[in-house]
Structure 1
Amino acid sequence: MLRKNRLTVAVSAALGLGAAAVMPSVANAQEELLVEEVIVTGSRIQRANLVSASPVTQVDAQEFKFQGTTRVEDLMKNLPQVYSNQNSSQANGATGTATLNLRNLGDERTLVLVNGRRLPAGSPIQGGTGADINQIPAALIQRVEVLTGGASATYGSDAVAGVVNFVMVDDFEGVEFDYQFSQYQHDNNNSGIRNIVQDAGFPVPTGSNTDGEIQNWSLVMGGNFDNGRGNVTAYAGYREIDPVLQSERDYSACALGVNVGSCGGSGTSAQGTFITPVGNFYVEGDQVVPGSQVYNYGPLNFYQRPDERYTGGVFGRYQINEHVETYTELSFMDNRTNAQIAPSGAFGVSFDLRSSNPFLSDQQRSQLFSDPDELNDDGTLPITLLRRNVEGGPRNQDLRHTTFRGVFGFRGDINETWRYDIYGLYSEVSMENTYNNDLSNAKIANALEAVEFTDPETGETSTVCQSVVDGTDPNCVPWNVWETGAVDPAAADYMELPLFARGTTDQKVFSGYLAGSLGDYGIKLPSANSGVEVVVGAEYRKESLNFSPDEGFQLGLGAGQGGATNPVNGEYDVTEYFTEISIPLVEGAAYAEEVTMDLGYRYSDYSTGVTTDTYGVRGGWAINSDVKLRGSYQRAVRAPNIRELFLPTGFNLFDMTQDPCTTSPDGDPPTASMEQCQRTGLPPELYNDFVDSFAGQYNYLQGGNTELQPEESDTYSLGFIWSPTFVEDLTLSVDWYSIEIEQGIDTPNPETILDECIAGDDSQCAKINRGPLGDLWLGSDVNSSGHIVALLENLALEEVEGWDIIVDYALGLGDMGTLTFNNTMSIIDKWDQQEFAAAQTVDCAGTWGGPCGYPTPDFRNNLRATWLTPWNVTASVLWRHIGGTDDINNNVDIDSYNYFDVAAVWDVMDSASIRLGLNNVFDRDPPIVGDGAGPSNNGNGNTFPGMYDALGRYMYIGATVSF
């Protein structure tokens, strides 16, 4: 066993693969690498040598057992190089997908492959960038290879940050059934947060909560036929996830303020916030009280979305003859989830109030109509209302994605020198978005205009809508926002507006290449024994997107939508030609056991009129069997994808501590001068004289841009692998990387636009549109509401530098089995971004918030220790370390975090095993940063669930039975 583990570690490290857990089955599979030529992610050239110029981190199938993950993103996001923006913990702003983000450079810059071929675009919904890895069946994953750094010359656009390649089992024999049950448990004992919530008068959970149950079934069947010439492997899976509300955790029981010292929330409150020329008021009983209240929107938001997923598919191959093998991959997924958030309401609805409104009390009339100079010419009072529809219940977004992917291809050896691979791929993602329990802006306006009406036939007097009297809307029910608890449920039903959107993304790929060993023709260097390897190929790819919102979406009728959502129907195609050349330079020489150089080039011609050239050079130098060096340079060019070109424009929200031109709700004075604020379009008379956002959320206009140019990146890497013969079963790999992106395609941070305008950049001032009251947050009409325009642009610069360090070690214990250790470390030295040519460069390494957004720890490390016992039991412990990050806004810094996970797998017999485990053993609370962890920073529940364990301990038990 010990010798086999050494073989595993040595081969893994030589190929640049960090073994996440060394198990006997993995060792057997990797031992075959010594005698077989293999294709490693990052190249199409088959290799029998033991040195690769590309650093690749590998996760084997056993790691899924150790982590107990039924959602692939839960395992992947724990890798130090991987970040997760869209996942099951998102509520507000959720797309219903799960995406991967290498180096925190963005989902759109991470290419996801299955068996070296593309996954389709995740969703046509806004923000749905990146492939949806929900469609990948965990039961069939053989291993995952993660190549960080540019790989566009090999795979084309999107591979700027790197590639995640899921290698699937396609030669299964037998029947395997797997079931796992898992859930979360948390002790609500955070006394500091509990006191804050209780002092604010909100309920807070106590004691222990056990919830969030997940059940997962999978069935795999396969077998060889025709004397082993073919194999068919089929799979089916079902997953059911129960929801967790933020009300079930003490640290998310209220929406904390930016300094985490008090409960914040939204000014769109249950009591209403009435903004008038004579002051701001809220309702208490039948009185109006000066000031405002905030609404605690947190408890009703999902912390874990409910989810139901069906998957199924077939992998098949058949050797027709010695020259032709046909293969196919067919996969299907139907995934349905629900993103529940707080109730809708009147989010800054403006109307004119008549003193004759029958709902008004005498106190309210005298208070509101006390100053005739502030009334309109007709005697009405202009009011902007923020009032939460607490009577109607929370909003919920029913998101369903149905995905089909089919691959059909032929591959084989033409002769002993040449081989080929040709395939066609078609993928389609169908999205259904049903948005329930929003309100209609038009109906809100009707319902607020209440009048007293006497029926001429019966003489009965009642309060009705003016639209009922004049016949413009006979179904209207008046909304009594003027008395606590007086809302007629029929009014909430009347104002409700369901919204519907449908859409698809389609992907067609036709690709083929020819690979040959030119050494058979004598083409090799005199200093090498092996000849030159070459690959030439071509690829055609077409991407299409169709997004069809209903009239309510298109006209911006939904009160909680932030504005109109426009339809889009766009497509583009690209024709590409590529080549790879691998040249053995030296073999078998002193201090040069093996020296190789790899070259790659790809030419791309887009239907949008853009042509690009991508290329790369990589080198590997095995000084001897102990020490191997590698380095590479990659020029990657990423053309804008279909969402970036055609994403519909619409309002979204961004987080900001306060508007610099007025006093914040917490009483902080303006941070900019009157002259500076005038640059932002603010009239001087409104300086420090308008209402700031109570929730720290502001409007920005997002959308695609058909004028975008390709972004370019240069990636450098240098590294070495050390497998000392004098230390049995130890391998160390160290790689330095540098990724510099120019003209990066991204949405500029709206706060940065505002800051640059205040600093004197007139080009940024042109993007700021203040509302009639001077604000940047009231209303949802793009023509009249305050907002900042932040469409996708070619930004100036992003630069990331760091180190990846992997250590593998195996220690024999004699009769007690074997201990194996794997340590994967990621260090970020630099993460700079410059959003505009004249803007200041911001260092985001080790920071979060502001223009940096999601946390970027400068140090992350995973250490797994696994004991292969002699009793058919494998036990493992994982230590996950996440370095601290500083709040760029100087509010709440995040300390470093340590999590410990334990797991065990018991092979009851050859055909059955049981596994159980506990992640986040010590139930550590996540870092609590308040409303800085809002949707615009991909946070939720006062923290960042995509990086930290937000729900407490994760417990699971599962069983696998084979026949």
Structure 2
Amino acid sequence: MFAGGMALGATVASAQDTQDGAPAAPMQRIEVTGSRIPSLNTEGSSPVTTLSAKDIKIDGVRNAEDLMNNLPQVFASQGAAISNGASGTATVDLRGMGAQRTLVLVNGKRLPAGSVLSTAADLNQIPSQLIRRVDVLTGGAGAVYGSGAVAGVVNFILKDDFTGVELEANASGANHRQHNDEAAAVVAAKGYPLPGNRNFDGKRYDFSLLAGANFADNKGNATFFVSHRHTDALLQSQRDFSSCSLGASDPGFACSGSGTSIPRVGAFTPDASGNPRRYVSATDAYNFGPLNFFQRPSDEYNINSTLHYDISENARLYSEFNFHNNTTDAQIAPGGIFYGQQATIAYENPLLNAAWRTALGLTRPGQTVTVSVGKRNVEGGPRNNNISDMSFREVLGVKGTVGDWSYDVFGQFARVNHNDRSTGYFSTRLIGRALDVVPDANGNPVCRSFLNGSDPACVPYNLFKQGGVTQAALDYLSASGSTGGFTQQSVFGINIGSDLSRYGLKLPTAENGVGVSFGYEQRVEKLSYEPDYENQTGDLSGAGGASPAVAGSYNVKEAFGEVRIPLLDNMAFAKRLELNGSYRRSQYSTDAKTNTWGLGLDWQPVEALRVRGSAQRAVRAPNIFELYTGQSVVLAGPTDDPCEGSAPKATQAQCANTGLPAALYGQLTENSTNQYNGRTGGNPNVKPETADTYTVGLVIEPTRNLTITLDAFKLKIEDAIQSVNAQSVFTQCLTTGNPLYCGLIHRDQLGSLWLTTNGYVEAGTTNIGSQGTSGLDLGASYRMKLPHSYGGLDFTLNGTYLRSYTVENLPGTGSYDCAGLFGATCGTPAPKWRHKARLTWSSPYNFDMSVTWRYFDRVKNDMLDSNPQLAGELDTQRDDHLSSRSYLDLSGIYRFNRKLSLSLGINNLFDKDPPLASSSSVTGSYGNGNTFPQVYDSYGRFVYANLTYRF
């Protein structure tokens, strides 16, 4: 019914594709995502958006990550465009409530935690070539599927009954003309290199083989799939708008950078003669952007196999196995000694000349001075994190029918092994020794630790002349780190269901009987994260802080049930009226006990109109990370400290609220990177969070070929398990002096929140006040035949209006609304309107053509909001908003014959750049390259070709 392959209401396609693309016979029974009750129809009280294999081909995406990000109900999450802070996974976040609140299923069964770095499922485990369809339920389904389905469920239905052989080859990449005149002008003015036009970069290649056959007189089927995908790196230096880190400078942008740059000692840096001169941030700052990855390189292998065999007409034995291995590199600019490192320099240091001693105030032997120092390790190259995740998952079960009862009994085991290795770092432990330099008996510079024998390997690191770094010093300071670990999931479940008509459970006003489903599941989750010494102690300079080891497990036993009660059928103003309910009782080994329920009503007063609504109570218990991660000080603090510098933006009274002594006002060292410390970690005392979800919708079919859906949604999470927002805490303390907030701010002995690990803002896991969202989903589908046998046109629309996106950071302190905003507190853009519209021409000439319009509404900087929890002082009005974006995609498929087809397409046809903001406003985990590449098209025009051969 929904043309073009995109179902926009609570209905999924009732036919599946065969090998040659022709419709197969309708399925007799379909399990709808959101319910386990077998049904002859697929309508329900909660909205389900369905994407078919045809949609995937038209979109031109070759991974589940990009497929999901194209939906307006999905917010930015971990993915290939993240380098600094990458987990190596790709996750999906429905409604922006956090990826940990979206449950990902494959054929109705859970995926495990994707990594020891992220408890959310890794979409990289799901090859796009194998997807038959994707069901996205955004009405909440905690009672049906359990914890993790707070915001909704994404269910990937994979091909499991294939016959024949199918080969696919795909090549894609970016074709980009550098045309951002504003950014290019500031890059050129700074003297940085500008890239030329790119014909084909950021390339991706994949190859796959799908084979299957029936056996035992068609009682069984075995399907096998194998694929390899390679992705090239894309550097920020390859786009003009990301060739430097943009900074605030009215009336427009300017290139900024990091204060950790050329050798810097206090307020001085060496000139060409080795004498001190004043450090000038406008000219001496380091341009860290070009070496950062805009797209991480990766190599990925997938192996999937499915097998089913009908033991009898009442029992089918089935098995699913998948293996996945993904290796990727996350590269960022070189590390080194980050400015703010405290070093004690003695008058006797032989690396000093007279000018340096005078500049540092060293006037007599025996005198020392402690100053901030810094030096970017350009000699050693960029920092790199090589991440490898290997997973396997096995499901074994038997399902069938006994009389009128259906059943499914299964066991499932999944494990993800993780390894990563970080290189290009200095050892924080050794930096102090390499900077503490004294003369030996012959007056040569040596480390004090070398002279006294405490560290015979120490080599002096020379900050007092350009080119003073020796290879021996570099070798001494260089450090690397590694982490390992695994996540593991075991599930046993049984589910039975039936239509109870034969038992007389049918209302006289209804044609169908009461449907029921109930079952039991037992699940065990384990996680072990094992960082080495360097990572556990935070010894890697510039790695963001210490990474404590984490180990833990829990199990949960759950009983659940559903009921569907047809109330009225084929009566006046009630062609159909149906009530459904669900309930789940969960008992965790952590002593948490939760009750989850759902109610829904589906009313069809006339043929052309359906009214549906649901109410859901979801309860999510804390996961292993949220319970057991140790406390550590890392770069998770606020994004600005207006009390820094010789002319602070905040008043002395405001800074005093944050714990700054009056004597240090106007004396704080400025942080050029806008990165401050937060103390993070788990909390064994957090209690489960509860979420209430409400949906009310209309499905309107005024004509046979037109369907319109309208679904209003409201979701609110109480006692949300979340890290405290450090920026919000700092802003509230600064402006109000509220001790509830100010008690969470700890300045170090230097008055800073970044120079030492004693300065930080509390940002650990707790039950924050609340988090919620509301809005309206709009869907439309229209099909028409063209005259003169020219084929047909299919139109589909999927849009979301975001009415509110609220957060109450601490209980009882009031909330703020991030709908239509981005910035220091709200982070990733939350457009009030997003849509995806598609027009497809199905021609009679073995050729189909589609044009797709993707739209993102304008978003405003959160500092311009009137809410005092958000309001702040913008450094430049150029950061006041991110402009709206419209992207047009063009695709076509030509079928040479029943065996061979070719798909070609161009996404972002007009090569539009993403909207830009300065680095102080592009904050959060998903900001990169002066924009948000997990939200907007950031690589330029994207060209792809796919060749499929079946035999």
Q: Return the alpha-carbon distance in structure 1 between the equivalents of residues 306 and 74 of structure 2.
A: 28
Q: Confirm or deny that 1:771 pairs with 2:763.
A: no
1:197-346 maps to which residues of 2 (within 5 A)? 197-208=187-198, 210-258=200-248, 261-272=253-264, 274-275=265-266, 280-285=267-272, 286-293=274-281, 294-346=285-337
Q: Return the alpha-carbon distance in structure 1 between the equivalents of residues 532 and 454 of structure 2.
A: 23
1:658 Cα offset (Å): 3.3
1:836 Cα offset (Å): 1.3
1:366 Cα offset (Å): 1.2
Between 766-775 and 151-160, the greater mean CA deviation after superposition: 766-775
Is the CA contact 2:346–2:438 (under 8 Å) kept in the aligned structure 1? Answer: no
Given candidates 835, 859, 872, the residue that maps to 1:861 is 835
Give the 3-state SS of the residue equivalent to 2:711 in structure 1.
Answer: strand
1:812 Cα offset (Å): 0.4
Alignment partner, residue 777 of structure 2: 804
Alignment partner, residue 915 of structure 1: 903
1:84 Cα offset (Å): 2.5
Q: 1:21/1:649 Cα in 2 relative to 1: closer, same or farther (>3 Å)?
A: farther
Which residue identity lines up with residue 694 of structure 1 in the other structure? S
Q: Return the alpha-carbon distance in structure 1 between the equivalents of residues 931 and 303 of structure 2.
A: 35
1:364-375 maps to which residues of 2 (within 5 A)? 364-369=356-361
1:465 Cα offset (Å): 2.3
Is the CA contact 1:18–1:806 (under 8 Å) kept in the aligned structure 2? Answer: no
Q: Confirm or deny that 1:717 pairs with 2:707.
A: no
Which residue identity lines up with residue 790 of structure 1 in the other structure? A
Give the 3-state SS of the residue equivalent to 1:444 in structure 2.
Answer: helix
Taking only aligned residues, the RMSD between alpha carbons, in angstroms, comes to 2.1
Q: Confirm or deny that 1:444 pairs with 2:436.
A: no
Q: Return the alpha-carbon distance in structure 1 between the equivalents of residues 521 and 292 of structure 2.
A: 45
Q: Return the alpha-carbon distance in structure 2 between the equivalents of residues 255 and 172 of structure 1.
A: 50
Alignment partner, residue 64 of structure 1: 56
Q: Confirm or deny that 1:695 pairs with 2:673.
A: yes
Q: Which string of whole-angstrom CA distances, capped at 9 and with x for unpartnered residues, describes residues 33-53 of structure 1?
A: 5xx221110000112136311
Alignment partner, residue 935 of structure 2: 947
Q: Return the alpha-carbon distance in structure 2 between the equivalents of residues 558 and 904 of structure 1.
A: 50
Q: Return the alpha-carbon distance in structure 2 between the equivalents of residues 483 and 101 of structure 1.
A: 50
Q: 1:720/1:10 Cα in 2 relative to 1: closer, same or farther (>3 Å)?
A: farther
Q: Confirm or deny that 1:682 pairs with 2:663.
A: no
Q: Which string of whole-angstrom CA distances, capped at 9 and with x for unpartnered residues, describes residues 743-764 of structure 1?
A: 1111111111112323132232
Is the CA contact 1:534–1:580 (under 8 Å) kept in the aligned structure 2? Answer: yes
Which residue identity lines up with residue 774 of structure 2 in the other structure? E
1:937 Cα offset (Å): 4.1
Q: Return the alpha-carbon distance in structure 1 between the equivalents of residues 6 and 883 of structure 2.
A: 37
Q: 1:185/1:652 Cα in 2 relative to 1: closer, same or farther (>3 Å)?
A: farther
Q: Which string of whole-angstrom CA distances, capped at 9 and with x for unpartnered residues, describes residues 846-878 of structure 1?
A: 101132111110100111111111111111111
Given candidates 891, 898, 911, the residue that maps to 1:903 is 891
Is the CA contact 1:18–1:822 (under 8 Å) kept in the aligned structure 2? Answer: no
- Structure 1 residue ranges without an equivalent (≥5): 1-5, 456-460
Alignment partner, residue 539 of structure 1: 521
Q: Confirm or deny that 1:795 pairs with 2:768.
A: yes
Q: Confirm or deny that 1:354 pairs with 2:346.
A: yes
Which residue identity lines up with residue 678 of structure 1 in the other structure? A
1:27 Cα offset (Å): 7.6
Given candidates 498, 509, 517, the residue that maps to 1:516 is 498
Q: Return the alpha-carbon distance in structure 2 between the equivalents of residues 662 and 761 of structure 1.
A: 21
Q: Confirm or deny that 1:115 pairs with 2:110.
A: no
1:648 Cα offset (Å): 3.6
Which residue identity lines up with residue 477 of structure 1 in the other structure? V
Is the CA contact 1:19–1:808 (under 8 Å) kept in the aligned structure 2? Answer: no
1:28 Cα offset (Å): 2.1
Q: Return the alpha-carbon distance in structure 1 between the equivalents of residues 576 and 746 of structure 2.
A: 63
1:641 Cα offset (Å): 1.3
Is the CA contact 1:804–1:825 (under 8 Å) kept in the aligned structure 2? Answer: yes
Between 493-502 and 256-265, the greater mean CA deviation after superposition: 256-265
Q: Return the alpha-carbon distance in structure 2 between the equivalents of residues 568 and 131 of structure 1.
A: 18
Alignment partner, residue 390 of structure 1: 378
Q: Confirm or deny that 1:43 pairs with 2:50.
A: no
Between 351-360 and 540-549, the greater mean CA deviation after superposition: 351-360
Is the CA contact 2:357–2:363 (under 8 Å) kept in the aligned structure 1? Answer: no
1:493 Cα offset (Å): 2.0
Is the CA contact 1:828–1:857 (under 8 Å) kept in the aligned structure 2? Answer: yes
Alignment partner, residue 596 of structure 1: 578
Q: Confirm or deny that 1:555 pairs with 2:521.
A: no
Which residue identity lines up with residue 297 of structure 1 in the other structure? F
1:452 Cα offset (Å): 3.0
Given candidates 619, 631, 649, the residue that maps to 1:670 is 649
Alignment partner, residue 821 of structure 1: 795
1:521 Cα offset (Å): 0.6
TM-score normalised by the chain length of structure 1 = 0.93
1:647 Cα offset (Å): 2.7
Q: Return the alpha-carbon distance in structure 1 between the equivalents of residues 390 and 4 of structure 2.
A: 40
Is the CA contact 1:901–1:919 (under 8 Å) kept in the aligned structure 2? Answer: yes
- Structure 2 residue ranges without an equivalent (≥5): 865-878
Q: 1:799/1:935 Cα in 2 relative to 1: closer, same or farther (>3 Å)?
A: closer
1:26 Cα offset (Å): 7.2
Equivalences, count: 928
Which residue identity lines up with residue 790 of structure 2 in the other structure? M
Q: Return the alpha-carbon distance in structure 2 between the equivalents of residues 380 and 925 of structure 1.
A: 52
Q: Which string of whole-angstrom CA distances, capped at 9 and with x for unpartnered residues, describes residues 288-311 of structure 1?
A: 223443211111100000100111
Return structure 1 stretches of 4+ with deviation > 4 angstroms. 6-14, 17-27, 654-657
Alignment partner, residue 465 of structure 1: 447
Given candidates 132, 138, 152, the residue that maps to 2:128 is 138
1:19-34 maps to which residues of 2 (within 5 A)? 28-29=23-24, 32=26
Is the CA contact 1:658–1:692 (under 8 Å) kept in the aligned structure 2? Answer: no
Q: Return the alpha-carbon distance in structure 1 between the equivalents of residues 175 and 452 of structure 2.
A: 57
Q: Which string of whole-angstrom CA distances, capped at 9 and with x for unpartnered residues, describes residues 151-180 of structure 1?
A: 100000111111110001100001111000
Q: Return the alpha-carbon distance in structure 2 between the equivalents of residues 753 and 541 of structure 1.
A: 37
Alignment partner, residue 742 of structure 1: 718
Between 187-196 and 7-16, the greater mean CA deviation after superposition: 7-16
Q: Return the alpha-carbon distance in structure 1 between the equivalents of residues 363 and 65 of structure 2.
A: 59
Q: Return the alpha-carbon distance in structure 1 between the equivalents of residues 822 and 540 of structure 2.
A: 32
Is the CA contact 1:245–1:300 (under 8 Å) kept in the aligned structure 2? Answer: yes
Q: 1:510/1:75 Cα in 2 relative to 1: closer, same or farther (>3 Å)?
A: same
Give the 3-state SS of the residue equivalent to 1:838 in structure 2.
Answer: coil
Is the CA contact 2:94–2:152 (under 8 Å) kept in the aligned structure 1? Answer: yes
1:17 Cα offset (Å): 4.2
1:800 Cα offset (Å): 0.9
Q: 1:885/1:24 Cα in 2 relative to 1: closer, same or farther (>3 Å)?
A: farther
Alignment partner, residue 169 of structure 2: 179
Q: Confirm or deny that 1:90 pairs with 2:82.
A: yes
TM-score normalised by the chain length of structure 2 = 0.95
Alignment partner, residue 3 of structure 1: none
Given candidates 440, 448, 452, the residue that maps to 1:453 is 440
Q: Return the alpha-carbon distance in structure 2 between the equivalents of residues 712 and 341 of structure 1.
A: 39
Q: 1:19/1:850 Cα in 2 relative to 1: closer, same or farther (>3 Å)?
A: farther
Q: 1:839/1:607 Cα in 2 relative to 1: closer, same or farther (>3 Å)?
A: same
Give the 3-state SS of the residue equivalent to 2:379 in structure 1.
Answer: helix
Give the 3-state SS of the residue equivalent to 1:188 in structure 2.
Answer: coil
Q: 1:215/1:731 Cα in 2 relative to 1: closer, same or farther (>3 Å)?
A: same
Which residue identity lines up with residue 200 of structure 1 in the other structure? K
Is the CA contact 1:655–1:934 (under 8 Å) kept in the aligned structure 2? Answer: no
Is the CA contact 1:183–1:211 (under 8 Å) kept in the aligned structure 2? Answer: yes
Between 696-705 and 572-581, the greater mean CA deviation after superposition: 696-705
Percentage identity across paired residues of the two chains: 39
Between 690-699 and 729-738, the greater mean CA deviation after superposition: 690-699
Give the 3-state SS of the residue equivalent to 1:752 in structure 2.
Answer: helix
Between 673-682 and 539-548, the greater mean CA deviation after superposition: 673-682
